[in-house]
């Protein structure tokens, strides 16, 4: 797994670098998801690469937690979908790299997103299309935990369970923090738990894993059953940078020069 650790570190360095240069935004939830991205794109989970991106049977990734987009850009560049130099445009006037993903602006970007609660329905549609078209691809949706408060998510959950979309995986980046300068926890705002019981009630399978452990993430992501799957990935917001970890203030803040240097040292 050493190689994966290296990849995840590179992704984290790219995230911090983008957000430092742009002085914007959403570093915490990008860092929390870096290991999930690594598992999906480098851990042998998704059938996807720059060479096979036009293939109808490529696996699909829907970024639903749109504010975590810098992790997505960093992952795609690390995977070779485009060069690192494009990342330096992030946050500049005239860039196509919005701080929420826009479909087709970059190779590898399947959908537009940025408003919470849209991604699962898109993923449901993609998974349903695979059934109708008799294609074998799987669809992965990466959602934030705060986003699970949106009602549309539960409409989509209901549909996926009813239609037995066993080719659909919802990954919840469960970092327990949402916006709020005082570091408010989802439990104190709208408690989304008990997710396992909710999944079961909606006719889904579920598993809770350490979202920073490849040994737990990768098998959970690879496993299939006859139902849609929810992977509850327990993560730490700001993971990898000591002063950001589990600190609500780093939801939407960008590091200053000194903070940037410390972060990059820690990620060496």
Partner 1 sequence: MRFESVRAIYDYGIKNGKMCFITGDYGHTKTEEFRSDFGDRYFNGGMSEQNIIGMSAGMAISGLRVATYSIVPFITLRCFEQIKIDVCEQNADVLIIGGGGGLAYGGAGATHYSIEEIAALSALPRMKIVSPADPREAYELTSQLLELGGPAYIRIGSGREDDLPVDKYNVKLGKAAVLKEGGDAVIFSYGTIIKEALKTSEMLKERGIDLGVVNVHTIKPLDKDTIVKESRGKRAVFVLEEHNVIGGLGSMISSLLLEGGLTPEIFKIFGVEDTWPKKIGSQKYLREELGISGNKISQKIDNLLR
Question: Footprint of partner 1 on this chain (CB under 8 A)?
Answer: 56, 60, 62, 102-103, 110-115, 117-118, 120-133, 151-152, 155-156, 158-159
- Residue nearer to partner 1 on the CB measure, 82 or 154: 154
Q: Which contacts of 212-217 are long-range, i.e. CB under 8 A and separated by 24 or more positions?
A: 212/35, 212/236, 212/239, 213/35, 214/1, 214/4, 214/5, 214/35, 214/38, 214/39, 214/43, 215/1, 217/35, 217/36, 217/39, 217/43
Give the shortest CB-41-to-partner 1 separation in angstroms.
20
Q: How far is the CB of 127 from partner 1 (least distance, A)?
A: 8
CB nearer to partner 1: pick between 142 and 267: 142
Alpha helices in 163-251 (DSSP H): 186-189, 195-201, 214-222
Instruction: CB nearer to partner 1: give 1 or 201.
Output: 201
Q: Which is nearer to partner 1, 126 or 169 (CB)?
A: 126
Q: Which is nearer to partner 1, 199 or 263 (CB)?
A: 199
- Asked whether the beta carbons of 64 and 113 are under 8 A apart, the reply is yes
Q: Tell me how far, at minimum, the Cβ of 100 lies from partner 1, in Å.
A: 10
What is the rounded CA–CA span in Å between residue 140 and residue 211?
15
CA dihedral 258, 261, 262, 264 (to 10 degrees): 150
- Strand pairing partners for 88? none
Q: How far is the CB of 121 from partner 1 (least distance, A)?
A: 3
- Measure the CA–CA gap between 158 and 160, rounded to whole angstroms: 6
Shortest distance (Å) from residue 65 CB to partner 1:
14
Minimum distance of partner 1 from residue 137's CB (angstroms): 9
> Measured from the CB atom, is 129 or 201 closer to partner 1?
129
Inter-helix orientation angle 69-78/2-22, to 10°:
130
> Do 140 and 60 contact (CB within 8 A), yes or no?
yes
């Amino acid at each position: 797994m050493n190689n994966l650790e290296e990849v995840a570190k590179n992704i984290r360095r790219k995230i911090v670098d983008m957000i430092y240069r742009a002085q914007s935004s959403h570093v915490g939830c990008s860092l929390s998801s870096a290991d999930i991205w690594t598992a999906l794109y480098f851990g042998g989970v998704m059938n996807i690469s720059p060479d096979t991106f036009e293939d109808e049977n490529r696996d699909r990734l829907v970024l639903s937690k749109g504010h975590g987009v810098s992790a997505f850009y960093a992952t795609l560049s690390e995977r070779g979908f485009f060069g690192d130099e494009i990342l330096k445009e992030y946050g500049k006037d005239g860039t196509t790299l919005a701080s929420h993903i826009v479909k087709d602006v970059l190779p590898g970007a399947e959908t537009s997103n940025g408003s919470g609660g849209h991604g699962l329905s898109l993923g449901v549609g993609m998974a349903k299309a695979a059934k109708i078209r008799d294609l074998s691809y799987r669809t992965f949706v990466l959602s934030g935990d705060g986003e699970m408060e949106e009602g549309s998510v539960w409409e989509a959950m209901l549909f996926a369970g009813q239609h037995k979309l066993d080719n659909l995986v919802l990954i919840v980046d469960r970092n327990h923090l949402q916006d709020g300068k005082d570091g408010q926890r989802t439990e104190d705002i709208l408690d989304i738990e008990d997710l396992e019981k909710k999944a079961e009630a909606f006719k889904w399978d579920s598993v809770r894993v350490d979202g920073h452990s490849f040994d737990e993430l990768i098998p959970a992501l690879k496993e299939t059953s006859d139902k849609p799957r929810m992977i509850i990935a327990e993560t730490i917001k700001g993971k990898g940078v000591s002063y950001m970890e589990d600190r609500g203030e780093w939801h939407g803040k960008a590091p200053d020069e000194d903070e940037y240097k410390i972060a990059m040292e820690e990620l060496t």
